[in-house]
Structure 1
Amino acid sequence: MHIQELVLYTSSLASQKQFYSQALGLSLVDERPDSFTVQAGLTRLSFHETKQNVLYHIAFTIPRNKFARAKDWLVRQQIPFLRKDGEDEIFFDNINARSCYFPDPDNNILEFIVHYNLARETDGDFSPADVLHVSEIGLPVEDVPALATKFEETLGLKPYGGPVSEGFAFMGDITGQLVVTKIGRPWLPTLTVPAAPSPVQVTLSGTRKQWLDLAPYPYILTAHQ
């Protein structure tokens, strides 16, 4: 499963545009009075202006040989790490992956992740061109198993890295995951920021063709093979 396009929202459009296009160095491919779009590897990532408070968790997959160099690059960009128990990275044994986390100007929780079973490597120092794609988007809901079942029945997505629980489901595969979490469950790594619904529009490929409006949650998914 690939996340081809992701539309999110922000109450600080100018700051977000500066962060994603300059601090993170992602190519600015569209700019309008109330929105902008950057290219994050294979994923088009857009932010639209809103007055409501929003909170997102998204992850960017990078080449499996670039984790240390990506962390060094974040330090040079003066982007602070988010930490868990004082540590600035987490290894996930269940999916053989390693992550570091950092905030954007809206305090969304961003993640660089390497999947060691994903055979993608590049030469040289880390640069924004090493961002392969957006691989995770968080979708907080009240009933995690129900939405996980819906994704399996309608899109053919399977749990990845472990079974579905009452509080969490990782639906997808090594290239992309819908992170279904219970509303109020703290996001990694800080364990102090509770998950809350914010409007999301996501276009997926590599699944069954489907259009899903997940009302009452503000999530719209368009999927195709």
Structure 2
Amino acid sequence: MKITKLEIHTSHFEETTLFYRETLGFPLLATSATEATFQCGETALTIKRSTSDYYYHFAFNIPPNLFLKAKEWTKKRVVLLRERGQDDVHFTDDMAKAIYFEDPAGNIVEFIARKETTPNASEEKFTIGHISGISEIGLSSNQLKEDANQLLSMGIPVRNDEVIHYSSYLTFFGEYTDGVYIILAPVGRRWLFSTKEAIACPILIETDRGTITRKE
């Protein structure tokens, strides 16, 4: 499964679009008074203007061999979030390391290096061009069974045939070999490296197997 397009909403439109254009340096594909679209590897990220304070959790894949270089690059631009006193984390179940930060909209953004599913870079210096795409997006919901059934009907399986959780825990949908996931999250569940709890938000997640839409 691949995420080809992601649309998110924010009431901090100007600051957030400036952040992705200037601070992180993603190429700007299109802009208007109400939305801006950036090319983030294989994913188009669209930020839409809203009057409500929505926030999301999403992740970008980075080359495993450039994790430390990417961490230093990111620390020059943002303050890294911390969990239990640490500013990075090693996920043994996904053979990955990750860092987290917030953008001006309050989104919990992750750079993750997956050792087994993301290729190493041939270069030694990290740039924003090494982002291969959006590899995780949290889909926060009060209707977990319905959303799980929709994802399954689209041909998006649960990672490694894991158990689907309908309360308290996250469920990762997508093949492990792709390293790209839609994370089904119960509303109220705290996001890692944050004090924020998952909330239901308007969203569009376009994949190579269909599109999921939640309207404002």
> Is the pair's TM-score, using the shorter chain for normalization, greater than 0.5?
yes
Cα distance, 1:146 vs structure 2: 4.2
2:200 matched residue in structure 1: 197
d(CA) in 1 for partners of 2:200, 2:117: 30
Counterparts of 1:212 and 1:58 in 2: how far apart (Å)?
15
Aligned residue pairs: how many?
210
- The answer for the alignment partner of 1:176 in structure 2 is 180
**Structure 1 position 151, deviation (Å):** 1.2
Task: Say if 2:118 and 2:179, in contact at 8 Å, map to a contact too.
Answer: no
1:73 paired with 2:73, answer yes
Q: Which residue of 2 aligns with 1:34?
A: 34
Please tell me whether residue 188 in structure 1 is matched to residue 192 in structure 2: yes
Percent identical among aligned pairs is 28
Give the counterpart letter for 2:190 in structure 1: P
Tell me if the contact between 1:144 and 1:168 (Cα under 8 Å) persists in the aligned partners: no
Deviation at 1:212, TM superposition (A): 4.8
Give TM-score, length-normalised by structure 2: 0.91
The one-letter amino acid of 1:183's match is V
In 2, the alpha carbon distance for the partners of 1:211 and 1:20 equals 24
Q: Which runs of 5 or more residues in structure 2 are unaligned?
A: none
Distance 1:211 1:98, change over 3 A: closer
Specify the SS of the correspondent of 2:6: strand
Match of 1:85 in 2: 84
Q: Would the aligned equivalents of 1:64 and 1:118 in 2 still touch at CA under 8 Å?
A: no
Paired residues of 1:197 and 1:218 also in contact (CA < 8 A): no
Amino acid at match of 1:165: H
Deviation at 1:30, TM superposition (A): 0.8
Q: 1:75, CA displacement in angstroms?
A: 1.4
Which amino acid counterpart does residue 171 of structure 2 have in structure 1?
A
User: 1:211, 1:99 → 2: CA distance?
Assistant: 27
Q: Which residue of 2 aligns with 1:100?
A: 99
CA distance in 1, matches of 2:126, 2:171: 31
Report the alpha carbon displacement of residue 92 of structure 1 after superposing the two structures with TM.
1.2
Q: CA deviation at 1:143?
A: 4.0
1:156-183 superposed Cα distances (whole Å, 9 cap, x missing partner): 1122154222332100123321110100
Distance, in Å, in 2 between the alignment partners of 1:211 and 1:46 is 15
Q: Aligned in 2, Cα 1:119/1:49: closer, same or farther, shift over 3 Å?
A: closer
Residues 81-110 of structure 1: per-residue CA shift (max 9 Å, x gap)? 111101111111111111110000011100
Q: CA RMSD in A?
A: 1.6
Q: CA deviation at 1:145?
A: 4.3
Letter in 1 for 2:76: R
Residue 145 of structure 1 contacts residue 165 of structure 1 at CA under 8 Å; is this kept in 2?
no
C-alpha distance in structure 1 between counterparts of 2:51 and 2:136, whole Å: 25
Q: CA deviation at 1:26?
A: 0.4
Judging by fraction of residues, say which structure has more strand: 1
CA distance in 1, matches of 2:138, 2:84: 22
Is the CA contact 1:186–1:194 (under 8 Å) kept in the aligned structure 2? Answer: yes
The residue number in structure 2 matching 1:149 is: 149
Please tell me whether the aligned partners of residues 35 and 46 of structure 2 are also in contact (alpha carbons under 8 angstroms): yes
